[in-house]
Amino acid sequence: MLDLIKSLAVQNQSKIVLLVADGLGGLPLEPGSPTELEAAATPNLDALVARNVCGLSIPVGPGITPGSGPGHLGLFGYDPLSFTIGRGVLEALGIDFDLGPDDVAARGNFCTVDENGRITDRRAGRISTEASRPLVEKLRTIRLDGVETFVEPVQDYRFVLVLRGRDLGDGIDDTDPGRTGVAPLEPTARGEASERTASLLREFIAKAAALLKDDHPANMVTLRGIARRPPMPQFEEVFGLRAAALAVYPMYRGLARLVGMRILDAGRTYAEQIEALQRHWTDADFFFVHYKYTDAAGEDGDFQRKIRCIEEVDAGVPEIAALGPDVLIVTGDHSTPSLMRSHSWHPVPVVLAAKSCRPDRATAFGEAHCLQGGLGQVEAKHLLPLAMAHAGRLAKFGA
Amino acid sequence: MLDLIKSLAVQNQSKIVLLVADGLGGLPLEPGSPTELEAAATPNLDALVARNVCGLSIPVGPGITPGSGPGHLGLFGYDPLSFTIGRGVLEALGIDFDLGPDDVAARGNFCTVDENGRITDRRAGRISTEASRPLVEKLRTIRLDGVETFVEPVQDYRFVLVLRGRDLGDGIDDTDPGRTGVAPLEPTARGEASERTASLLREFIAKAAALLKDDHPANMVTLRGIARRPPMPQFEEVFGLRAAALAVYPMYRGLARLVGMRILDAGRTYAEQIEALQRHWTDADFFFVHYKYTDAAGEDGDFQRKIRCIEEVDAGVPEIAALGPDVLIVTGDHSTPSLMRSHSWHPVPVVLAAKSCRPDRATAFGEAHCLQGGLGQVEAKHLLPLAMAHAGRLAKFGA
């Protein structure tokens, strides 16, 4: 399908904005009550829905709960089942680490272990970025035979470990057991090609444990998402769109960079993101604007805060629309129902605004309304081709 | 999927009619107003919808605007992404040219060039079929080394050029630049296998230019869609249906012939097509009836004429239904909104009438109504298997 899109893509002056409210979709707290989005006052999004076309976006497939990687790849027009992005890769890209094609990256967490080596806190009391910095410096003193080692701080208790060398493998399981009361797992290779790399990581962890033993609560590390970057067809090459990302959080910048988007300085708030969008309006054809806090509120199980976050997203819509994008899509990368305190598989409301929309009967932006929408229930990966069609950027297929 | 259908197809006495109103789907001229189909008075189609099942057909994929080839292949049950039909092939098939598997066919246009060789009219003032006939005779005098050459009139300013010989290639770009003010392009091979063919076509065009130099406005030619016919699994072999086509326009007969349908004499009007359908009712199991003028009106941007065309289609439905087909499908191969004056990617209303329908709540044939239909939004290629199921022609899959 990417080949087809590439062969049909044509150039014009149109602009497309993709506004992603992370984890937008939700659930009612009890039967008969509204979802977060349905409860929120969203006059601007409602007006968009009433004049345009809406529907529900299926991030990966029915029943499949996506992480941030697959969720965004789908929105970027890629089949998320065809491209696997390890978390280590995401974290590395998100801090502007210049990851080489053969580098192996892992997401590291500082954690707390008791005297028996059992994890008591998987996030080391969520120590601050400042507190973790000297610990990262300690880890940087670790030397491993035959590979170059990079340890980079990320945020709070998180860091990135990158191994650079020849013949490294990334078929290695996470060492974070995902729960407390047990010891971290040993790095274990899933095949011969990764045996040496697993052994190097075991050595790294043993040395880290020795260096950190007096740094309670951050007296141990775990590694997750040990991976190389996948070879991805680049966004502009496939879709013919000069793409730019406005994301406050590192991971989403990393995802955008992975597909070749230009990363703009988005500031630290939604208002600053919109200002940056205005400032850079002539610099790209496609803008990805990422709003994180809907997801964060859902993950915290905070139904009311998620409502307020959605209302904040809504309040920015007129300023974005005022720029006159030919196509504006507002959706999420997945649902994060406050009720579940986690990502979920539920389809995500989506509205697509363009002059060539065939209006449907939906009049407000919400899960039930979007069920009546003209987009139907559509896999997320189809939204970008749809946007390109509405922007006049896809030529006719076949005679 | 074709293999599955083939393995499940069973024979019985049922009849299926596929009535295609070309470019049926539309758009409102302004938000809140009806589409062409919604504005048209279609009592017969409305009654079909009320008693049966409707939905929206996605010709190729979300956002993909199909040409007539992919649009019809989908309706014929083939995945339009798996079979590419060049325009030259379509045109050749549409004039009953007996195209061999190794022949290379091109759609030719007479065009007008100025004294500097720049195109001033890509269609030579749309000269009539009569006016182009003597010009075609001139082109027939051209001899090329090592290949047999056929030049056949089509309609108005269009002709078909066929090269027959050994080791011809069809990886050659169009010579029609798609705009005026520039010279026609040279036939250029996209690979070594087509170098000799490109060279032969350059020679043909040079000789044509010399022969036509005093025939203003038709003083030059362009070639498009240079192609061989794709190897297609034949309709009766896959679906077990003796299929017949009733199409007034050559291209649609050509498409039907490509998949192995029998081409019946359909006359020149919709009324004559229906008479032919009645006359041939016992001669086939599956009838493809193609109505062109909905698309033509849409391409002309004539909203009111498209309404009248839709009403003409509707008026013929009782006569078709009176024949007692076990399954009657009415849909289009794509949308052609008058607003856009072109084919578009928007899903196409479809109604399927059969005794085994599970009725939905839709009560009229129109884009918004069909959004409520029981077929949902379904890829066009699935409609034929659905029709076969309703006709009792698909056995159970698996034990």
Query: What is d(CA B139, CA B288) in angstroms, rounded to the nearest whole number?
Result: 35
* pLDDT of B194: 95
Which range of A67-71, A278-282, B168-172 scores highest in mean pLDDT? It is: A278-282
**ipTM of the shown complex:** 0.88
User: Concatenated DSSP letters for A315-363?
Assistant: HHHHHHHHT--SEEEEE-SSB--TTTTS-B-S-EEEEEE-TT----S--
Q: What is the pTM of this model?
A: 0.89
pLDDT confidence of residue A2: 93
- What confidence category does residue A112 fall into, taking pLDDT thresholds of 50, 70 and 90? very high
Residue A101's pLDDT is 85
The torsion defined by the Cα of B22, A362, A52 and B304, in degrees rounded to 10, comes to 40
pLDDT on residue B207:
97
Separation CA B207–CA A392 (nearest Å) = 38
Q: Which of residues 49-78 of A touch B (CB under 8 A)?
A: 51
pLDDT in tens, B199-236: 999 999 999 999 999 999 999 999 999 999 988 999 99
Which among A51, A376, A399 has the least Cβ separation from residue B90?
A: A399
pLDDT tens-digit readout, A330-388: 999 999 999 999 999 999 999 999 999 998 999 999 999 999 999 999 999 999 999 99
Locate the chain B residue with the closest alpha carbon to A4: B81
Closest listed residue to residue A168, CA positions, set A259, A109, A86: A86
Q: Which residues contact B113 (CB under 8 A, 6 or more apart)?
A: B119, B120, B183, B184, B219, B220
Mean pLDDT, range A152-158, rounded to an integer: 94
pLDDT in tens, A177-193: 999 999 999 999 999 99
Torsion over CA: A298, A303, A305, A306 (sign): positive
> What's the distance, CA A64 to chain centroid?
16
**pLDDT of A244:** 98
Of residues B63, B71, B84, nearest to A389 (C-beta)? B63
CA-based nearest distance A81→chain B, Å? 18
Decide if B299 contacts B23 (C-beta within 8 A): yes
Cβ within 8 Å of residue B305, ≥6 positions away: B297
- B371 and B58 in contact (C-beta within 8 Å)? no
> What letter would DSSP give residue B194?
G
Select from B53, B200, B175 the least CA-distant residue to B110: B175
Does residue A251 have a pLDDT over 90? Answer: no
Q: In chain B, positions 158-217, which contact chain A (CB-CB < 8 Å)?
A: none
Cβ–Cβ contact A356 with B under 8 A: yes
Contact partners, residue B6, CB within 8 Å, separation at least 6: B233, B237, B238, B239, B240
Q: How would residue A90 be classed by pLDDT, with cut points 50, 70 and 90?
A: confident
Please answer yes or no on whether B27 and A358 come within 8 Å at the CB atom. yes
Write out the two tokens for B244: 């017949």
The alpha carbon of residue A254 is apart from the nearest alpha carbon of chain B, in Å, by 27
Cβ within 8 Å, pair A398-B85:
yes
Mutation site for B-interface testing, chosen from A48, A358, A360, A369 by largest number of B Cβ within 10 Å: A358
- The CA distance from B348 to the nearest CA of chain A, in Å, is 11
**DSSP letter at A366?**
S
B61, B343, B377: residue with CB nearest A396: B343
CA-CA distance, B30 to A335, in Å (whole number)?
33
Pairwise CA distance, residues B171 & B263, whole Å: 30
Residue at B313: amino acid letter: V
Average pLDDT of the residues of chain A: 96
H or E element in which residue A275 lies: helix A270-279
Q: Are B232 and B216 in contact (CB under 8 A)?
A: no
In chain A, which residues have their Cβ closer than 8 Å to the Cβ of B68?
398-399
- Tell me which chain B residue has its CA closest to the CA of residue A360: B368
**Cβ contacts of A179 within 8 Å, gap of 6 or more:** A119, A122
Instruction: Record the tokens describing residue B201, joined without a space.
Output: 């076509």
Q: Name which of B28, B225, B339 is nearest A399 (Cβ-Cβ).
A: B225
Rounded Cα gap, residues B335 and B345, in angstroms: 7
Cβ count within 10 A of residue A180: 14
A399/B contact by beta carbon, under 8 A:
yes
Predicted confidence band at A250 (pLDDT cuts at 50, 70, 90)?
Answer: confident
Query: What residue ranges of chain B have pLDDT lower than 50?
Result: none
Find which of B340, B345, B360 to mutate to test the A interface (most A CBs within 10 Å of its CB): B345
Residue A53 Cα, gap to closest chain B Cα (Å): 11
Residues comprising chain A, all counted: 399
